[in-house]
Copies of this chain bind each other. A is one copy, B any other.
Amino acid sequence: MLKAVVFDGNVDCKEVPEPSRPGETVLSVQRAGICGTDLAIASGDYRVKTPLILGHELYGTVKKAPADRKDLLGKRAATEITVACGECYYCRAGMKSHCANGAALGIHRDGGFAEFVSTPADNIHLVPDAITDEEAVFIEPLAACVQLVKVGQIASGSTCAVVGPGRMGLLVLQLLKQTSPRLLVTLGRPGRKLEMARKMGVPAFEVGETDVALKMTDGAGFDNVVETTGTPGGLEQALRLVKPRGTLHLKSTHGLPVQLDVTKVVVDEIRVQGSRCGPFEEAIGLLAEGKVEVREMITDRFPLEKCGEAFGRARSSTSIKTIFEI
């Protein structure tokens, strides 16, 4: 038996059987981060089959490995979240994260807010010593942010705004700084997150100051606006900032329907771009080389047993990143 954070209408720490999936590896999970999707599942907005062990931002060491991958044993590792079939149209097209038969850890199959998690050896990425245990929790979300910049084709010299400088937005801001933007600002609720953005040297406005932010573009609007609020209200705020022929990058997966002003999207010829999982090796490189700073983002640490308290903190505007220490 092992301890795990199980969602079954409520979020509770329970004793469950050890994972047993033939041919896969088992990670002994050391650290795991709570993200917006976890919160959306816990609130019931993002529908999943229950009972489910939550968690997909994971770091640990390899405890078990299949016969042909014994080299992984004992290694420090992070894991991609989509368990893909390797045979469907999407897998053959190199779009493993969209596998037609795929299951994501912590969403469609048991995840890693647990002492142990099962994951295919192909999903394992080794974590170099230059990355601490805590930093390694950010590999998965940072990879997703790398994907946002790639899929969204954010070019250097553009004007960029990030709406919602939280656990995801602060990573996006760091990546956008590296694209040499002509202008980069963020908008959010007053408090700790906005302060951290300012510490990064990014002009930070309160949400009500949209017009002030727009003035910095001479009223033209931003080429790229990233919506990382994790709330349904974020889309409308973000859309106000996008200039005609600009791009609105979506990153919130709160599971709720959102009202979109389709007519504005058409008249202003706006692109609304979604993006999801990204390249782990690039994220590992960025963290290992110190090009993205995450340590100060960790505001709260809990053991699995205090999962209720941990989820409460993760929802708070004074928390940036809440992690489990396992």
> B-contacting residues of A (Cβ < 8 Å)?
46, 89-90, 95, 98, 100, 151, 218-220, 232, 235, 244-245, 250-276
Contacts and interface: CB of A to CB of B under 8 A. Distances in A.
Given A46-B263, A151-B269, A235-B260, 7 more contacts: A98-B244, A100-B219, A252-B266, A255-B263, A259-B260, A268-B274, A269-B275
A108 to B, nearest CB: 11
A40 to B, nearest CB: 8
Given A89-B220, A95-B244, A244-B90, A263 B253 contact: yes
B46 A245 contact: no
A25 to B, nearest CB: 25
A273 B271 contact: yes
Nearest to A144: B266
A259 B235 CA distance: 12
B276 A269 contact: yes
Contacts of A90: 220, 244
B250 A262 contact: yes
A276 B266 contact: yes
Contacts of A46: 263
Contacts of A261: 257
Contacts of A252: 262-263, 266
A210 B151 CA distance: 28
Given A218-B89, A266-B275, A267-B274, A258 B255 contact: no
A183 to B, nearest CB: 14
A232 B263 CA distance: 10
A235 B265 CA distance: 12
Contact of A254 (B263, B268, B274): B263
A148 to B, nearest CB: 10
Most buried by B among A98, A253, A262, A275: A262
Most buried by B among A219, A220, A245: A245
A163 to B, nearest CB: 13
Contacts of A262: 232, 235, 250, 252-254, 256-258, 274
A231 B21 CA distance: 48
Contacts of A271: 271-274
A264 B257 CA distance: 10
For the complex of A and B, 3 pairs with smallest distance between CB atoms = A98-B244, A265-B274, A272-B272
Contacts of A257: 259-262
Contacts of A259: 257-260
9 contacts: A90-B244, A95-B244, A250-B262, A252-B266, A254-B262, A258-B262, A262-B274, A265-B274, A267-B276
Contacts of A232: 262
A98 B263 contact: no
